[in-house]
A and B are shown apart, each in its own frame.
Chain A
Amino acid sequence: MGIQIEHPGLLTTLQDLGRTGLQHLGVPVNGAMDETSHRMANLLVGNAEDEATLEITLSGPRLHFQEDAVIAVCGANMAPMIDGEPLPMWRPVRVRAGVRVLFGRPQIGCRAYLAVAAGFDVPAVMGSRSTAVRGAYGGFNGRALRKGDVLPLRSPEEAHTARWVGLLAHKQNRFAFPNWSVSRHKMPYRVTPQPLRILPGRHWQNFPVAMREQLVAAEYRVGNDSDRMGYRLSGPALDARRSHDVLSEGMVTGAVQVPPGGQPIILMADHQTTGGYPVIAVVIGVDLPVVAQLAPGETLRFKLATQEESYAAAIAREQQLELVRQALAVRLR
């Protein structure tokens, strides 16, 4: 019993908020690429924010629910359908055993997140349910989902279910949802293109002024070989000659590395713990979901920010999540 995978999609993995605390042993963090959508999806079904969700990439899966569940889909709009009808996003949806949920290709964004009330019943590995594809541990059997897999679900407590069922109209239908949703303009993907905010990196000073100016003036294209490890950008090459000889050191998600070829790479959730290329800049934490929602072929620009702006943006995001939390608490009373 659980969710049967009738079609796996391009890359569908379980992810949570990551495997922290073990980088000194070389253990990468992994975790949801778009943390905001992941947390929101969990909030909407009453889960803790670090519960694992399904991260669905670029081309969606077909899921067959073998038991009743409350789900929420946030992130990229991949035109999800439930038994042939549009599945509304950004809100809880009660689904009955037997329904099929189908994802298409993204209309906006790159990654969708599906949360299930009470969570997926897979063991935590080193404190996390995130899938580490490289290394093959965590998540569901340490790998992306395949056709025929059955993802086991934890059973929600009865009191929990009752609250949600009371919230949702038309209990007899195959699926039901409330007429409200989380406000869409608060979501991480860019309705209007905004530059990614960066802070000077560890080797910012090693790059000539002209190169730093170029980084914020130029437009970069997201390469087709971009993945959960890193976003490979193409655009005007950055000359890193003077800073080639750096020793490998601990890297951070969002680091903009400049390899000898001069085409920058933004390190993402699956990046290895250490790296040896100079870091010209670092994308601020709150903008990482924006990167995660950029699909190969899309373009981006960088904009220099300050620590103050970064902190203010982090606080603003927490306030938005808190508003959702409070609104849900009122509706569930």
Chain B
Amino acid sequence: MAEAAPNTPQLYAMGDRALVAEFGRSLNAGVNARVRAAAEHLLAHRLPGMTDVAPAFAALTVHFDPLQVAAHYRTTDPVEAMRTALQHALTKAPDLPKRKSRSIEIPVCYGGEFGEDLRLVAQHSGLSEEAVIEAHAAPDYHVYTLGFLPGFAYLGGLDRRLVTPRLESPRKRVPAGSVGIGGDQTGVYPFETPGGWNLIGRTPITLFQFDEQAHAVIEPGDRVRFVAIGARDFQLLRDKR
């Protein structure tokens, strides 16, 4: 399928320490793939003074140390120097990421003490709790980006019937591994944190590791499927990790 050559992304300064490369303005798998490909390219071919690359849905934010950039390019306008360097680098970035997207199964024990709000989501959707579980575990979710917490994946593809408003007052403590629904989004909390999503279950697996190197189990571009498990399997898997 032939497609017109994509335009080069628009670059915007985000203050004096970052630039945003905007590849599109709507949620779209093709645009997201270009964002991921560009991030991958920049992480493999680091620009002088660049400190961080943050790919999101349709835009990529490049963070830099202005003093390092200025010293490297012998300029007093590091933002402009970085803009030129980034523009040039992006022309060399491929449209598709090299990294093969993986299919990842996340075992989830739904309901009960693991998902205290399952009943709430069922009530809101008019479905039975079983039907909510079935609808949540059915799709292959597309991973657009990571954010919020280390290894927290923003997933696209939630069944419209499961869309449930966030809790009116957020919980002070959401256990690590909790699977929640907040508005039209669903996701897994990799760490214990305060949170306002409706908790429908919990996974026993560790989503983010940093023993030696930081490693996210789910990465942008992956496909995620939730697999319902019982409380006994939850314990077994938890003990194994």
Query: Which residues of A does B touch, CB under 8 Å?
Result: 20-29, 125-126, 134-137, 199-202, 247-255, 272-274, 279, 282-285, 307-308, 310-311, 314-315, 318
CA of A314 to CA of B63, assembled, Å: 16
Count how many chain B residues have C-beta atoms less than 8 Å from C-beta atoms of the other chain: 50
Known contacts A248-B154, A311-B77, then 4 further A-B pairs from the complex at CB < 8 Å, ordered by chain A residue: A20-B63, A25-B214, A135-B150, A307-B13
CB–CB A26/B15 < 8 A: no
Residues facing A in B30-60 (CB within 8 A) are 39, 43, 51-60
Do A134 and B149 have beta carbons less than 8 Å apart?
Answer: yes
Selected interface stretch from B108-116, B118-126, B129-137, B140-148: B140-148
- Whether A25 lies near B216 (C-beta < 8 A) is yes
Which of these, A126, A272, A282, A308, contacts B147 with CB under 8 Å? A272
Could you show 18 A-B contacts with beta carbons less than 8 Å apart? A25-B146, A25-B151, A26-B151, A28-B150, A134-B194, A137-B191, A199-B15, A247-B25, A250-B54, A250-B55, A272-B147, A274-B145, A274-B147, A307-B77, A307-B80, A310-B66, A311-B78, A318-B67
The residue that B193 contacts in the complex, of A24, A134, A248, A253, with Cβ under 8 A, is A134
Bound Cα distance A308, B77 (Å): 7
Residues of B within 8 A of A (CB): 12-18, 20, 25-27, 39, 43, 51-61, 63, 66-67, 70, 76-80, 145-152, 154, 191-194, 208, 210, 214, 216
Contacts of B52 in A (CB 8 A): 20-24, 29
With a cutoff of 8 Å between Cβ atoms, the chain B residues found around residue A279 in the complex are 14
Contacting B57 at CB < 8 Å: which of A29, A248, A307, A308? A248
Query: A250 to B56, Cβ gap below 8 A?
Result: yes
A198 to chain B, nearest CB (A): 8
Q: Cβ of A249 and Cβ of B151 under 8 Å apart?
A: no
Q: Which residues of B contact A29 (CB under 8 A)?
A: 52
Verify A274–B66 contact, CB threshold 8 A. no
B70 engages A249 (CB within 8 Å): no
Closest CB of chain B to A245's CB: distance in Å? Answer: 9
Q: Is the CB of B58 within 8 A of A247?
A: yes
**Which residues of B lie under 8 Å from residue A253 when comparing CB positions?**
17
